[in-house]
């Protein structure tokens, strides 16, 4: 058992070493793609929550996907990824604890939404969906350059 564990640890540490080779610019592209995916699920959900469409099972699908995509936002902002084509404010790294809190808030809000969707209670779903929107917006207001988004 112990041998297996150290093999796993070695493999994990190997991965961590590789991480140093990643370019900040690539993290910028990565997180923008991730944020767009999150916005895609939010936008699709908004159509369902507002009662415009009701495809069977899709609300669950989007809520779960959004919760997974939002589960570790802070890891998409490694130190040094604050230059180039990015809307990330340098406050992210200056006020890392606050940024981390904003990320945790989104993690919790999206997890709550996913759990609430399973309850099928429309009023609660709408409220939880609103909280998710506020968690996105709250972080953007403090840490993203273009506020009009
Ligand atoms: C903890 C902070 C934080 C949270 C929470 C957050 N975002 Fe972002 N978001 C950012 C930052 C910072 C950027 C700018 C990233 C960059 O340009 O490098 C961004 C960028 C974006 C973009 C623009 C991507 C692009 O193409 O440039 C979209 C869309 C977006 N976020 C949607 C969302 C949605 C939807 C949510 C909620 C489900 C969300 N964000 C939650 C911090 C956050």
CA of 119 to the centre of ligand 1 (A): 28
Which residues line ligand 1 at a C-beta cut-off of 6 Å? 28, 31-32, 35-36, 38-39, 42, 66, 70, 73, 86-88, 99, 102-103, 106, 132, 135-136, 139-140, 143-144
Q: Which of 28, 35, 69 to probe ligand 1 with, by most ligand atoms within 8 A of CB?
A: 35
In a domain, 8, yes or no: no
In a domain, 11, yes or no: no
In a domain, 139, yes or no: yes
Residue bearing tokens 């944020």: 35
- pLDDT (tens digit, 0 to 9) for every residue of the chain, 149 residues total? 445 555 555 455 544 555 557 888 899 999 999 999 999 999 999 999 999 999 999 999 999 999 999 999 999 999 989 888 899 999 999 999 999 999 999 999 999 999 999 999 999 999 999 999 999 999 999 999 985 54
pLDDT computed for residue 25 by the predictor: 87
In a domain, 7, yes or no: no
| Tally of helices (H runs) and strands (E runs) in the chain | 6, 0
C-alpha span between 109 and 116 (Å, rounded): 10
In a domain, 13, yes or no: no
pLDDT computed for residue 101 by the predictor: 98
In a domain, 90, yes or no: yes
Range of 63's domain? 25-143
In a domain, 69, yes or no: yes
Residue bearing tokens 């959004």: 66
CA of 2 to the centre of ligand 1 (A): 41
| Separation in Å, CA 115 to CA 1, 103, 121, 143, 147 | 36, 18, 11, 28, 30
State how many domains the chain has.
1
CB atoms inside a 10 Å sphere around CB 135? 23
Ligand 1 atom at minimal distance to the Cα of residue 86 = 17
CATH label of the domain that carries residue 133: 1.20.120.10
In a domain, 106, yes or no: yes
Task: DSSP letter for 74, please.
Answer: G
């Amino acid at each position: 058992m112990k041998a297996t564990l150290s093999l796993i640890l070695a493999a994990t540490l190997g991965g961590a070493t590789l991480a140093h080779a990643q370019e900040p610019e690539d993290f910028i592209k990565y997180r923008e793609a991730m944020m767009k995916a999150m916005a895609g699920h939010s936008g699709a959900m908004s159509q369902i929550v507002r009662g415009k469409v009701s495809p069977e099972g899709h609300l669950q699908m989007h809520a779960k996907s959004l919760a997974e995509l939002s589960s570790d936002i802070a890891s998409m902002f490694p130190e040094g990824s604050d230059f180039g084509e990015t809307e990330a404010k340098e406050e992210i790294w200056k006020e890392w604890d606050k940024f981390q809190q904003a990320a945790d808030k989104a993690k919790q809000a999206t997890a709550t939404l996913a759990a609430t969707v399973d309850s099928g209670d429309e009023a609660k779903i709408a409220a939880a969906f609103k909280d998710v929107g506020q968690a996105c917006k709250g972080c953007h207001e403090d840490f993203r350059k273009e506020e009009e988004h």
